[in-house]
Structure 1
Amino acid sequence: MKNHFRYSFFLFLLTVCSFGQTSTEKTFKGKSIEVYTTAKDTDLRISKSAMDTFSPSTQPLETEISIFVEPEKTFQTFMGIGGAISDASAEVFDRLPKENQEKLLEAYYDPEKGIGYSLARTPIHSTDFSVESYTYIEEGDKDLKTFSIAHDKQFRIPLIKKATRAAGGELLLYVSPWSPPAFMKSNNSMLKGGKLLPEFYQSWANYYAKFIKAYEKEGMPIWGLTIQNEPMATQTWESCIYTAEEERDFLKNYLGPTLEREGLGDKKIVVWDHNRDLMVNRSNVIFDDPEASKYAWGTGFHWYETWTGADPLYENVRRVNEAYPDKKLMFTEGTVENFDASRYYYWPNAERYGEQMINDFNNGTVAWTDWNILLNENGGPNHVGNFCFAPVHADTPTGTLIFTPTYYYIGQFSKFIRPEAKRVSTAVSRSVLLSTTFRNTDGKMATVVMNKTDENIKYRFKVRDAETHIEIPARSIQTLIY
């Protein structure tokens, strides 16, 4: 009887200890750490620059620069990083020699040899980054009897399929419209804003469903969609205006029910898809209406609020996250405007990406999408002359590829932070550094550190009860793997 009691008590203790364990390391002392760096005025481009071992930590001082990581404190689950496969990207890609087509695909989508993009955005018919405006129907066909995606089969669909294969057979793909067909709008034009006329709400909702089904019939699963690209911007290119209430009611009364009725109720619907400045208002109006909110997966946002003279409004991302923790946040577009070929290697362009990505992730963002993956030597093609930068450009006369610093800055995140990773508590003791951390499903931690100053900086890197001392070069970004 006494032995039976001892055995039972031993099992009880074993059970308690097992449930008390977590998936994270209890100590990092003695563990190795690898450092990968991209730095200005060096040859370092996602290069392994150091290797060290964690030692027991001591109390940091206020006079020291430190980064603190607490693996037990976790936040959102990461979905992925990627870029848009636009008409412009697809047409430029088609003009590349085959060996450079393969080089580009590997560079973006291969997680080992490249930077491991895992998601993509693609437009519903034309945008400014098309050689012309077009739709999938004949003008005036409100019943969509002439609907066809034949246009996309020449360039865009082949590139999406090649990118998916390069990514290992799976690429989260979502779609966005820039404008309804002209006849459905108040200004009778796909360009320069205008509004969707109420009599075409149902026809336009049907259009999304037809597009998704047509793409899926081609073997490209669609994860979700945004309702309207930049619904408060009257642009010289394809654009359409929705007030918050109009977007809410279109979602609630037309788009949501239509997708459900068409067997597409599993598609994730993303609202807003515009800048951070008005994202709180848009989220409030839509998510506070239960009948609209039930169809909405989350809020998409861009980074162009600075056009008004504002600083990036990162805190608005946090405010939406705090107010609606059951909704998700996705960065759906960003690019460096005003293309200038003399600035291919202009370092602040890349730093803009690093700063924005770190802040967006630290405020709860689950996925981050760049704009065009590839543009030509003029920052196009673009049918209204709105030429921009991409992480990679093609010099089409020579067929060569130009990898800008932005490609490597994005890669410091996308290569090392993989889908399903969990963000982990990270704090810096001095504003000269920015940092974020994720724990991948294999248990490996990835901490990104960015230095925008002109000085090399030595910092203490402390993870729970262990630490190491690292130096980050001036104007650089590092990823620490441990």
Structure 2
Amino acid sequence: MDRLLPCTIVLLLFINAVKTDGCHKRKFKDDSFVCVCNELECDSFEPVTNPPKGLIYSYVSDRDEHRFHKDTLDPKTLVNAVTADSIKLSINVNETYQQIIGFGGSFTDAAGINIKSLPDKLVLDLIRDYFGKDGLEYNMGRVTIGGADFSTRPYTYQDDYQDLNWTHFALAEEDLVYKIPYIKIANDFSGGLKLFGSMWSPPAWMKYQQRINGTGTLIGDPGEIYYKAMASYMVKFLDEYKKHGVEFWGITTLNEPSAGGKPDYAFNCLGISPEQMTKWIAKDLGPILKAAGYGKDKLKLLILDDNVSLLFLYASRVFSNYEASQYVSGIAVHWYENAQFGFDGFDKTHQFFPDYLMLSTEACTGAGSDDPGVRLGSWKRGEEYANDLVGNMNHWSSGWVDWNLALNSIGGPNWVSNFVDAPIIVNAEKQEYYKQPMYYALAHFSKFLKPGSTRLGFKVTNPNDNVRTTVFKTDQNQLVVITVNSNDHAVNLTFEGFAENPIGLTLGPRSFRTLVINKS
């Protein structure tokens, strides 16, 4: 054994050296490529540092060639690149908006199953690729409370005993094997995660319909025993995870409360109307959380956890009711209707209720029936992520949390075959995983917009519908500009208020670019 140790050290040094050499490209059938990670090769990111005074760091990813390619630019050489026909971006550093809380992904059963299917070294590499300093630097995580569709079976924490005191409540094997161990590793890499839990359904015996899926509502009314028991169920979850060394920053009221009102809904759900949610928070959930030591000063309670079409409806009911709103910190929104309805609901909600944070808490591509499942190397899906991130940032969202951290090659496992895509796809048979364009789209935001970063105002002259931008100032006094060009051709862009003088840059076709300048 001792004789093998020097060889092992040499091999590990070799592996670590290869890891920094850049993307190991592989093309499948789609319009771009993935970056392959196995035990011998995997790309990583350099630490993001402050550029020297007067210089600009530029990071580019594009459909055809680059993944997070870094250049150093001198603004003096870019002054002559300003053209009359360019898109002009005028930044106002005195016009400030919301601050960033963070970015993250979701610890589902499916994610844990796929991560566990890899060799030990790749398990650490994959989690580091999300949460480490040479990864996306995620600082948030969503945790499913009990089962969801991305489980291999429908379950809760007390399926067999109709006992509202939860004397038989117990975490599942999925928590102990597929979630808690990887949450702890991620927490070590990140230096401290903001975790929040989301429940899909209470035990079926608590619902009129006696089913975990399909149309379903809780027995009775808020203020009565079943609603109080559901609040206590969430407290039990928080307490049990705490016993395992995992504490939570927040919790949502329920995943997609509209789902339980839809006929024959395929997977775990519960229907709660805006009025029921308001009364439940006021009479049961808020007081029970507070009495258990999870008051507003200790735990962020986020309402809705559903789509933008319901955003103002739920917000206006809950936030206008003092008995409920006193327990609530913000509102969680899913991305699935953003492309259809836009972000007016975000703006309206902030206009009426500016004291509550907004957070995007679920996103995935491949969920639609017209384009389902995994597409390896899809640049289009990377653009969908990047454009939604820009939209969220420009309309008051304080962060963006993705859905499954990892899925398999068909987009599962999922007990109802609701297969979707993910930024990292695991190929257990080949003992490797693939970083999708979505992964690099996220990097252009999460690597730079650290907690406390503040969105800045800007005006666009000569706009292009396929070019989107957001601007932030970090607590290190950096200006960060993120642009997405979805055109099949290059575009010229002029920046005013970024460097000392206006500068011009060309954005390549189908590309993301992040610019960083030191304003100290």
Aligned residue in 1 for 2:432: 400
Contact 2:208 2:217 in 1 (8 A): yes
The Cα offsets for residues 198-238 of structure 1, whole Å up to 9 and x where unpaired, read as 24111111011111111122211201110010110233000
Distance 2:364 2:284 in 1: 32
State the Cα deviation string for residues 236-255 of structure 1 (Å, max 9, x = none): 00011111101111111100
Match of 2:184 in 1: 161
- Cα distance in 2 between the residues matched to 1:53 and 1:216: 51
How far did 1:57 drift?
7.7
1:117 is displaced (CA, Å) by: 0.7
Residue 6 of structure 1 is matched in structure 2 by: none
Quick check: 1:37 aligned with 2:60? yes
What letter is aligned with 2:58? V
1:126 aligns with 2:164: no
Matched letter for residue 378 of structure 2: Y
- CA 1:343–1:337: 2 relative to 1, 3 Å: closer
Aligned to 1:354: 386
Whether 1:256 and 2:286 are equivalent positions in the alignment is yes
After the TM superposition, which of the residue ranges 397-406 and 422-431 deviates more from structure 2? 422-431
The total of aligned residue pairs comes to 448
Contact 2:78 2:504 in 1 (8 A): no
1:241 equivalent in alignment to 2:271: yes
The letter of the residue matching 2:197 is V
Paired position in structure 2 for 1:445: 479
Aligned partners of 1:134, 1:54: CA distance in 2, in Å? 62
Counterpart position of 1:279 = 311
CA distance in 1, matches of 2:376, 2:78: 44
Cα distance per residue 1:262-321 (max 9 Å; x no partner): 111021111111000121111111111111111111111112227xxx724211111111
Q: Which residue of 2 aligns with 1:16?
A: none
Among 177, 180, 200, the residue aligned to 2:226: 200
For 1:84, give the aligned amino acid: S
User: Residue 217 of structure 1 aligns with which residue?
Assistant: 243
- Contact 1:428/1:435 (CA < 8 Å) preserved in 2? no
Aligned pair in 2 of structure 1 residues 253, 101: CA closer, same or farther (>3 Å)? same
**Cα contact 2:200–2:269 (8 A) shared by 1:** yes
Q: How does 1:346-385 map to 2 (within 5 A)?
A: 346-385=378-417
The verdict on how the C-alpha distance between 1:475 and 1:293 changes in structure 2, with shifts beyond 3 A counting, is same
TM-superposed deviation, 1:150: 4.5
Q: Secondary structure at the match of 2:344?
A: helix
Secondary structure class of the residue paired with 1:296: coil
Letter in 1 for 2:69: S
Q: 5+ unaligned residues in a row in structure 1: which ranges? A: 1-27
Amino acid of the residue matched to residue 435 of structure 1?
T
Q: In the aligned structure 2, how far is the partner of 1:341 from the partner of 1:324?
A: 37
Q: From 329, 351, 354, give the equivalent of 1:322.
A: 351
Q: In structure 2, what is the Cα distance between the partners aligned to 1:446 and 1:274?
A: 30
Distance in 2 (CA, whole Å) between partners of 1:51 and 1:356 is: 28
Q: Using the aligned pairs only, state the percent identity.
A: 29
The Cα offsets for residues 21-73 of structure 1, whole Å up to 9 and x where unpaired, read as xxxxxxx997211110110111x111114522258989x88733112222222
Partner of 1:17: none
Matched-pair contact (CA < 8 Å) for 1:90–1:155: yes
Unmatched runs of 5 consecutive residues or more in structure 2? 1-50
Distance in 2 (CA, whole Å) between partners of 1:86 and 1:401 is 17
In the alignment, the residues of structure 1 paired with residue 205 and residue 76 of structure 2 have an alpha-carbon distance, to the nearest angstrom, of: 65
CA deviation profile, 1:110-162 (whole Å, cap 9, x unmatched): 12x11111100001000000000111123312210011214211221101111
> How far, CA to CA, are the matches of 2:200 and 2:515 in structure 1?
39
d(CA) in 2 for partners of 1:71 and 1:56? 21
CA distance in 1, matches of 2:255, 2:374: 30
RMSD: 2.0
Structure 1's 427 and 115: CA in aligned 2 closer, same or farther, altered over 3 A? Answer: farther
Q: Out of 334, 341, 348, which is 2:363 matched to?
A: 334
Contact in 1 for aligned 2:279/2:324 (Cα 8 Å): yes
SS of 1:154 mapped into structure 2: helix
Residue in 2 that maps onto 1:99? 121
Amino acid at match of 1:154: V
1:81-129 residue CA offsets vs partner (Å, 9 max, x unmatched) = 1110101001111111112112212211112x11111100001000000
> What is the distance in 1 between the residues matched to 2:252 and 2:115?
25
- Counterpart Cα distance in 1 of 2:172 and 2:147: 13
Amino acid at match of 2:213: L
CA distance in 1, matches of 2:336, 2:127: 28
1:145 corresponds in structure 2 to 167
> Which residue of structure 2 aligns with residue 14 of structure 1?
none
TM-score (structure 1 length as normaliser): 0.89
- Whether contact under 8 Å (2:331, 2:357) holds in the other structure is yes
Residues 381 and 438 in structure 2, CA contact (< 8 A), matched pair in contact too: yes
Q: Which moved more, 1:386-395 or 1:338-347?
A: 338-347
Give the direction of change, closer, same or farther, for the CA distance of 1:30–1:376 in structure 2 (3 Å limit): closer
In the aligned structure 1, how far is the partner of 2:120 from the partner of 2:218?
Answer: 42
Deviation at 1:426, TM superposition (A): 2.7
2:210 to 168, 188, 193: 188
Asked whether 1:424 is paired with 2:453, we answer no
User: Which of 171, 174, 179 in structure 1 is aligned with 2:193?
Assistant: 171
| 8 Å Cα contact 2:149-2:414 kept in structure 1 | yes
Structure 1 window deviating more from structure 2 (315-324 vs 383-392): it is 315-324
Quick one: distance in 2 between partners of 1:314 and 1:393?
Answer: 30
Paired residues of 1:81 and 1:117 also in contact (CA < 8 A): yes
